[in-house]
Amino acid sequence: MEILSRKSINIKIKELKSDIGNIKDLELSIGKFSEEKWTEAEGPTPFPSITALREWDKKLLDRYKPFYLPFCDLCCLCTYGKCDLTGNKRGACGIHMSAQQSRTVLLASCIGAATHISHARELVTYAIKKFGTDYPLDPGGLAVEVEAPIIRLVCGVKPEKLGDLETVLDYLENQLTQLLSVTHTGQEGNNLDFESKVFHAGMIDQVGMEVADIAQISVFGFPKADPDAPLVDLGMSVVDTKKPVILVIGHNVPPAIQIIDYLKDKRLSEEVEVTGICCTAIDATRYSSKVKIIGPMSWQLRYIRSGIPDVIVVDEQCIRTDNLIEAEKIRAPFIATSEKNCLGLPDRTRDSADDIVADLVSRKNLGVLILDPEKVGEVAVKTARAVAPKRKKSRTSLSTEEIIEQAKTCNQCKMCRRSCPNDLHIPDSMKAAGKGNIGMIGDMYEECIGCARCEQACPETIPIHNIIVSAATQRTKNESFRIRAGRGAIQDIEIRKVGGPIVLGEIPGIVAFVGCSNYPKGGKEVAEMCIEFARRRYIVCTSGCAAMSAAMYKNEDGKTPYELFPGTFDAGGIVNVGSCVANSHIAGAAVKIASIFARRTLRGNYEEIADYVYNRVGAVGVAWGAMSQKAAAIASGFWRLGIPVVVGPHGTKYRRMLLGRADREQDWYVHDRRSGEKVYVGPVPEHLFFAAETKEEAMVMIAKLCMRPNDTSKGRAIKLTHYIDLHRRLFGTTPDDAHLFVRTLTDIPITMKEDLTKILREKGWKETIIPDPTLLVNQVEKRGVR
C-alpha cells in the first residue's frame, strides 16, 4: 500500500486479505486529482520511488560503464577525514573512490534538481497567490493536448490547473530529500547504485523544470508552443544608453515581469530600458519583446563594468556573488529579490516603495532585499529614473592609453594565465599591450568566459578583465544580434509530422544545444555547430545560455542563425524553447513522439517510454559550456531517458563519463519484439555521456550518437552519410568503425558504396537484421512471443 501525497490521498491496495474477505487492485483517490477523467491506463511506476527504476538504470549502466575522473584524491565530507582514496583505497567509512565519485555526482545532481524544484515551487506559489489554484494550465492552446508529458510519464497524473502542480511538487521534494540523504556518510556504498540515484535526480529535475515552465507559460502568457515567436534584440550595443537602464540577472522571472508591468501601467515603457542577462532575460523576452538580452551569464562583469545599467536587480541562480561589489563600483543601486540570495542586505520588503527609493538614490543603502516582486517593480523603475541623470554612466573601462600604462606594470609572473580556466595567453598579450599593441589582448574577448580569476591572481592588481573588454571596444560596439524568443513546448501537430521521419531515421536527429557558457573557445562554436546541423536538416533545439550564444553570430549578409532558419520543430529548424526550465520541452518532445506518434501509454510508464526513446529517437543533448550543478541534473534526466549528452572538455570535471565499448560485441544486443530473439545492433548510441576535446570531435560524435537500432535502411544511410562526411571533412579520413553501423547492404549510402564495401570486406562484416528493438523482456512478452 502506498500513500503518495500529503495534500491528496491516493491509496492503492494490490492485495488485502482479511477476515471479511480478499480485496484486489483497489484504488481510492481523494483530493487534487480525484475528479480527473483521464482514461489512459496507468503504467507500473506512477510517482516512482528512488529504486523503482533501478533495473532500467542497470541496463543502461551495464552498457555505459562509468569512467571516473576524480577531481580530488581525498574525501573531506566528515570528521573521519580527510581520507586518502588514491588507487581505490577505502576511507574510514569504508567508501572507495568509485563510489565517492558517484556520490559527488549525486550531490551535484541533487543541488541542480533542488534548484529547479525550488524555483518551480516559488513560481507556483506566487502564481497561485496571484491567480488562484483553479487557474487553468495552458502551455500550448489548441496546439498542445499533451500538456505535461514528463509529469504524465513520471507521476502518472494529468495536471489541469495550477493547484495540481502542488501535488507534483510535494512528490519531488520528498524524493529530493531521500536522494540527498543517500549521500550521508555510511549510506549507499555501491557506485552503480549511486549512479542509479543520479538518474533519479535527473528525472525529478525534468519534472521540476516542466512544472516551472508550464506554470509560467500559463500565467504570464508566454508564447504557447509558437514557432513564430518574435525575434528580439540581443547584445551590448542594442541598449539605448540615453534612457535609464535596468539590468535583471538570474532565472526566476516574476520581479522582472513586475518591472515590465509597472512601466506599462505608468506608460513608461518607452522611457526606460529593461535589459537582462542569463535566463531571466530569456523569460522576460517571452513576456515582452521590448526587453533586451545582453548575453549569457559570462557577460555579467563586462556589462556591469560598462557602467550602462543604472539599477541592478538579481533573483536566483548563476548570479555572480560579487555583483553587489561590482554595482558599487559603478554606483548602481542593487536590489536582491530572492530568499535564496539575500547577500547580507537589509530586508526592506515591508517598507514603502518611496522610502526605499529615497535610500537607494541617496546611497544610504547601496543595496536592498525586497521579497515582493510588485514592490521590486516600482522601486527598480523609480530608482532607475532618479539615479540615471546623476550617475553619468560611471564606467570602469579603460582608454587605450590607460591600457598601455597598466600593461607596462605587468611583471610577467604568469599567475593570470595559470588562473585562467582556458589557459589564455594573457602574459604575452600584456607584453604586447605594454608596447602599444592592444589587438592581441582584445582578441581574447571572444574566448574569455568572464570569470575574472586573472584579476584575483595578479600580484600587481592589474584590472586584466577590464583590459580585455576595453581593448575589444569595437567588438562590443558591434554586438547587436537577433534571437527568437523562447517558444516553449512543441506542438502535437509538429510531433505528428516529424515523429515518423525521426523514428525511421529519415530526419537524421534532434540536436539540443543547452546549458551554460563555460566554453573552451568562446560561444561562437555553439553558433557554428547549430548552423552546421540545421543545414544538414537535423532538428536543432536551443535553450538558456546556449540559445543566446547561438544568436551571437552573423553571416556575411548580417543574418543571425535565428533569422536564417525557421523556429519550427522540423528538419532544418532552429528551435529556441526558452530558459533552463524550458529544457523540459526538449525531453518532452522525445516523450511525445512515443505517445502521439507511436501511441504508447505515457501514464506512469517510464521504463517502456525510455526504452522507446532510447532505441528509436535519435536525439543528442549538447552542453558545450556546461558549468553548473543544474547542468549536471539536466544531463542526468536525459540519460535516464536514454538520450546521450555531449559536453565540452571542461565537462570532464563532472568527474565521470558514461561510455560504451564499441569493441565489445556482447554489449550491443537487443531483443527483437517481433521474434523475441536477441539481435546484434552495433554500438548505437555508442556513449551516454561524453566530453569532446574540440568542436570538431563533438560534431563527428553528435552525428554518430544520433544513430539508433530502429533506423530503417534509408534512415541509417542518411545518418551514416552525415557521420562519414563530417569525419572525412574534420578528421581527414573515412571512419574505421563505419562497418559497425551497417546492418544490411541497403544501409550503405549510395555515394559511399565503393569505399564502404571495401571496408566491410576488410573487416569481415556480416549482415544482420533490423529488429523491432527493445532492452525489455516484458516488451517481447507483450507481443505474445518469448
Interface with another protein (CB under 8 A): 65, 67-74, 84-88, 97-98, 415, 418-419, 421, 423, 457, 520, 649-650, 652-653, 655, 657, 659, 661, 663, 690-694, 696-697, 701, 730-733, 735-736
Residue 22 exposed, middle or buried by CB count within 10 Å (0-12, 13-18, 19+) = exposed
Contact 146, 176 (CB under 8 A): no
Dist CA 652 CA 630 (whole Å) = 16
Closer CB to another protein, 145 or 423, in the complex: 423
Q: At which residue does the C-alpha cell 610577467 appear? A: 412
Of 282 and 692, nearer to another protein (C-beta) is 692
**Minimum CB distance to another protein, residue 69 (Å):** 4
Spell out where 536-627 has E strands.
Answer: 539-543, 574-578, 619-623
The least distance separating another protein from the CB of residue 195, rounded to whole angstroms, comes to: 15
Residues sharing a CB contact under 8 Å with residue 627, sequence separation 6 or more, in sequence order: 515, 516, 517, 518, 650
Give the nearer residue to another protein in terms of CB position, either 146 or 415. Answer: 415
CA distance 120 to 390: 39
Cα separation, 780 vs 25, in Å, equals 25
**CB 615 within 8 Å of CB 775:** yes
The two counts, helices (H) then strands (E), for the chain are 29, 24
Residue placing its CB nearer to another protein in the complex, 80 or 731: 731
Which cell numbers hold the place of 364? Answer: 544610504
**Spatial contact of 274 and 291, defined as CB atoms under 8 Å apart:** yes
Residue 739 C-beta: closest distance to another protein, Å:
15
Q: Give least dist CB 558 to another protein, A.
A: 29
* Nearest distance from C-beta of residue 318 to another protein, angstroms: 20
Asked if 567 and 229 count as a contact pair (C-beta separation under 8 A), the reply is yes
How many C-beta atoms surround the C-beta of residue 40 within 10 A? Answer: 14
DSSP 683: S
- Kindly state the smallest distance separating residue 413's Cβ from another protein, in Å: 11
Are 229 and 486 spatial neighbours (Cβ–Cβ below 8 Å)? Answer: yes
Closer residue to another protein in complex, CB, 86/751:
86
Quote the least distance from Cβ 724 to another protein, whole Å: 13
Per the DSSP assignment, residues forming a β-bridge with 248 are 276, 313
Whose cell is 600593461? That residue is: 407
Rounded to 5°, the CA angle 700-702-708 comes to: 115
Taking the complex as a whole, how short is the minimal distance between the CB of residue 134 and another protein, in angstroms? 50
Residue placing its CB nearer to another protein in the complex, 43 or 735:
735
**Hey, is 346 helix, strand or coil?**
coil
Nearer to another protein, 228 or 736 (CB): 736
Q: Grid coordinates in use for 633?
A: 541534473
CB of 661 to another protein, least distance (A): 8
Residues contacting 282, CB < 8 A, separation 6+: 276, 293, 485, 486, 544, 547, 548, 578, 579
DSSP lists the bridge partners of residue 346 as none
Query: What is the nearest approach in angstroms of another protein to the Cβ of residue 84?
Result: 5
Which residues lie closer than 8 Å to 561 by C-beta, 6 or more apart? Answer: 527, 530, 531, 534, 550, 551, 553, 574
Phi then psi for residue 243, to 5 deg, are -90, 160
Residue 733: CB minimum distance to another protein, A = 7
- Integer Cα distance of 551 and 484 in angstroms: 9
Q: Please give the Cα distance from 232 to 225 (Å, whole number).
A: 17
Q: Which is nearer to another protein, 23 or 72 (CB)?
A: 72
CA 405/CA 462 separation, integer angstroms: 10
Query: Cβ 545 to another protein, closest distance in Å?
Result: 20
Least distance in Å: CB of 673 to another protein?
A: 31
For another protein, the closer of residues 266 and 661 by Cβ is: 661
C-alpha Rg value of the chain to the nearest Å: 27
284 vs 454, beta carbon nearer another protein: 454
CB of 128 to another protein, least distance (A): 44
Which of 98/285 has CB closer to another protein?
A: 98
C-beta of 100 vs 466, nearer to another protein: 100
User: Which CB sits closer to another protein, 104 or 419?
Assistant: 419
**What are the φ and ψ backbone dihedral angles of 211, each rounded to 5 degrees?**
-55, -50
Given the complex with another protein, which of 291 and 657 has the nearer CB atom? 657
AA identity, residue 136: P
Q: Are 785 and 676 in contact (CB under 8 A)?
A: yes
